[in-house]
Chain A
Amino acid sequence: MILYWFNFIAEVLIFIYALAIMGSYLVLAIMSLDEMKNHLERSEGTDYRAILASPLAPKVSLIAPAYNESLTIIDNIKSLLSIHYSKFEVIIVNDGSKDDTIDKVIKYFELEEVKPVYEKALHHKPIRGIYKSKNRAYKKLTVVDKENGGKADALNAGINICSNDLIACIDVDCIIEADAILKMVKPFLDENKHEVIASGGVVRIANSCVVEDGRLVKAKIPDNMIARFQVLEYIRAFLLGRMAWSRINGLLLISGAFGMFKKEIVIKCGGYNHKTVGEDMELVVRMRKWMTQNKRKYRVSYIPDPLCWTEAPSTTQVLGRQRNRWARGTYETLKFHKELFFNPKYGVMGMVSYPFWFFFEWMAPFIEAIGLIYFVFLVITGMLNWSFFLLMLALVYSFAICNSFVAILSEELSYFKYARRNDLYKMILTALIEPFVYHPRVVYWSLKGNFDLWKGKTSWGEMSRSGFVQFKKSKKN
């Protein structure tokens, strides 16, 4: 009798959880599509050229930390220096690279050590030297060489040194669209009654894409299956998820690969947190909290245009390390700000965003794992109702496919970056097999991340990349 009730309650709870998660994703998808439609209408009528030559345009500091980037650093910096914007500076922070990153940069850009005075508003590891170029062509470049302290530490050093009110934090190995800054700046210029404190853009996968002179010229679906799964995953996350969160001003995460912030607020709330590997999400949550506590009306803006392209991990080992880190970062952020949980004082963030992240982002892998264990238990005890099990499997699978198809539709309606029909077929095929081939691994890595955190793991994890050089070789493909 007890077993029966246990069985009944477990099934009902899992069923309700599944319905809740599906319902919330469905609502997010519908909201995203509507917001996308509005955004496209707005952006089609927007002439970004007005900012290009305007003396009224705000100055922007691009901060890019670099660690062991010797292979591609020169191309990366040149690419950053060639963006379409007039008033900007590029600050490269060499975070104690073990290779010859700094030597290469000093030599190529003809750098000379300078001693600027600046407010040390944020804490970071000691700086070994700050360099500026003697060559007028690179006058917008500043290079900071510091002791290794991690990405958050390097960004804090860059924030201290930069001289502009808007800061764009960028992964140095990302490919930024030429008009990315123009588009990212716009929400800050457009602020009305609410102050815009941060703005995020879509990050896309650059594997197999054609890159020339540091610019992406043709988007292609990656040949590598691991990378291909991530293309779909990123489209779902950026075009469906974040778009909807932005609509209700509930966005908690701006990708560490590319985000723009108001320097004043970043400094006031203490800059990037060294104690977490999820420093990007943690900063946004802290900034939002600070604004609420100081009774300032604010918005975290989001632009669905593909502005930044990054090389995704193409092996399971590297991807596993990345997902492990993301899982730890999520938990750490949620833990650091646990007072937000269903706290009406924090509005949408406290009542909707935080609980969503807690129940459907952080807890989901645990629930899936419990479901699996429960399934094994039922098989062993002979209590499994196979018909019902298969029905549930079909429900989850059909939902997963449907959600992926909404994402593909959203991409086709908006930016259709993958112009070839073959790419569309590949994406559809990927959507069909992803729930069985890719998703279980992501769940496993998330669980392992939480387990590693419990064991006290705090390291970032080595992220080996092929670099853009390989993309350049694929130019003639």
Chain B
Amino acid sequence: MGEFVSHEWKVIIAITLIVLFVLSTLLLFVTILIIKFSRAGRTIRNTRFKNRVENKLNELISEYESHTPEDILKIVNLFKPVTKEGWQKTIFGDLLIHYTINLTGDIQQFLKEIFFGLALDQTCFQDLKRGNVREKVRAMRYLSTMGYKPACPLINKYVNDRRKLLRVEASLALIDLSENQLQFLDKLEYPLTQWQQINIYKKLSEKPPESLPAFQRWFDSKNPSIQAFAIEMTSRFNQTSEMEKLLPLLENDSKKIKIKAIQSLIAFDSSDLVPILRDKLAICTEPDVKIELLAAIGSLSSDVSDTDLLETYLMSEDLSVRIQAARSILKMEDGSTRLARKNALYPLMLQPVIDHISNPLLR
């Protein structure tokens, strides 16, 4: 130990750290082994339990004719003893949700009554208030599938949660539960992410179109992502009565909004709007927007004189603009002849573009 004297402070630090690392390693080793072994046991236990309750549920569903409150009480009493633990509630809840989504009519109602009879809604409430992210998400899914409207005020609190996952889940649940499906958009403080938009669109697609709100309501939203979403939904759900209201959006500062508005106008297939699009094209400086306007004129116009206008863009410096102009000309009456004539004058510039757009393999 005498040799250590000159290294005293280093020795103290080193020995402390070694002891720390060795103990940590041992602890980690034991933890790893416990996880490995307990996981196998847990998987077997969960599978067995799932099979058991699944068989019982299948039996009840296949023998189902009608149900009375007494029947429900009997079934609830049957399942109560096996859904005491948290993990049992989760497995059983997942099964009930799965069947509720996939079945309709009286059987669906029957399953919902089992859910409420077992007070799983109360568990969901507890999870929503005090659970972790995973539990909160599950609770919102359960409650929205079961159509439990009293949960709305509580779920509403998560519309502006700092955690994105909870925001998405809350918005999806409210579409199912709230009277005004998309009212949450009015108070959304965060951007409506593209992921959220995809999920909301999926949810809305499952609803009858007549039950959907008029999306123009959000055209002047202060949140640009909501504006873009509303424009997209207007055309996706073919709300043609909103078409006129899209026009002011062509003046919007955001390139994205302008593009979405033009794309929606194309989807509505309205030739009355061509003069406006023509004017916009004349003053447009953004290549991306120009491309959309060219596409719109090509799709909507039946006026041969528009071909002259489109031809001027065949000489654009931007390759994408040239390609779109050529594509749009091809859609016009006599377009292919006009394009061939122009190509004869400027073959170096136009021939590759024509080859590109006319090759079916490149479409």
Q: Which A residue sits closest to B236, measured CB to CB?
A: A55
Q: A320 → chain B, closest Cβ, in Å? A: 30
B22-30, B46-54, B69-77, B289-297 - the one binding chain A: B22-30
Report how far A109 CA is from B319 CA in the complex, Å: 30
Contact A42 B202 (CB under 8 A): no
Report how far A115 CA is from B355 CA in the complex, Å: 7
Partner of B32, one of A119, A387, A399, A412: A412
The majority secondary structure among interface residues of chain A is helix
Q: Which A residue sits closest to B194, measured CB to CB?
A: A189
**Chain B 158-170: CB-based contact to A (< 8 A → 1; otherwise 0):** 0000001100010
Contact A391 B15 (CB under 8 A): yes
Name A87-136 residues within 8 Å CB distance of B: 112, 114-119, 132-134
Report how far A402 CA is from B197 CA in the complex, Å: 44
Report how far A22 CA is from B134 CA in the complex, Å: 34
A-B contact count (CB 8 A): 142
**Chain B 320-333: CB-based contact to A (< 8 A → 1; otherwise 0):** 10010000000000
Name A122-178 residues within 8 Å CB distance of B: 132-134, 139
Residues on A with C-beta less than 8 A from B134 are 41, 44-45
**Chain A 164-207: CB-based contact to B (< 8 A → 1; otherwise 0):** 00000000000000000000001011111100000000000000
| Chain A: interface residue total (CB-CB under 8 A) | 58
Residues on B with C-beta less than 8 A from A191 are 193-194
Residues on B with C-beta less than 8 A from A453 are none
Contact B361 A50 (CB under 8 A): no
The majority secondary structure among interface residues of chain B is helix
Residues on A with C-beta less than 8 A from B32 are 405, 408-409, 412, 424, 428
B3-11, B216-224, B298-306 - the one binding chain A: B3-11
Contact A54 B198 (CB under 8 A): yes
Q: Which B residue sits closest to A193, measured CB to CB?
A: B191
Residues on B with C-beta less than 8 A from A114 are 359, 361-362
Contact B232 A399 (CB under 8 A): no
Q: Given contacts A398-B21, A424-B36, could you give 14 more A-B pairs where the C-beta distance is less than 8 Å? A: A19-B17, A45-B138, A50-B202, A54-B201, A56-B201, A117-B356, A190-B164, A388-B3, A391-B15, A405-B32, A412-B35, A412-B36, A413-B35, A421-B36
- The contact sample of 30 A-B pairs, CB cut-off 8 A, is A42-B133, A45-B137, A54-B202, A58-B194, A115-B356, A116-B359, A117-B352, A117-B355, A117-B356, A134-B361, A139-B361, A190-B164, A386-B3, A388-B7, A391-B18, A392-B14, A395-B21, A398-B17, A398-B22, A399-B17, A399-B21, A401-B21, A401-B25, A405-B25, A405-B32, A408-B32, A409-B28, A413-B35, A416-B39, A428-B29
On B, residues with C-beta under 8 Å from A are 1, 3-4, 6-7, 10-11, 13-15, 17-18, 21-22, 24-25, 28-29, 31-32, 35-36, 39, 132-134, 137-138, 164-165, 169, 190-191, 193-195, 197-199, 201-202, 232, 236, 319-320, 323, 352-353, 355-356, 359, 361-362
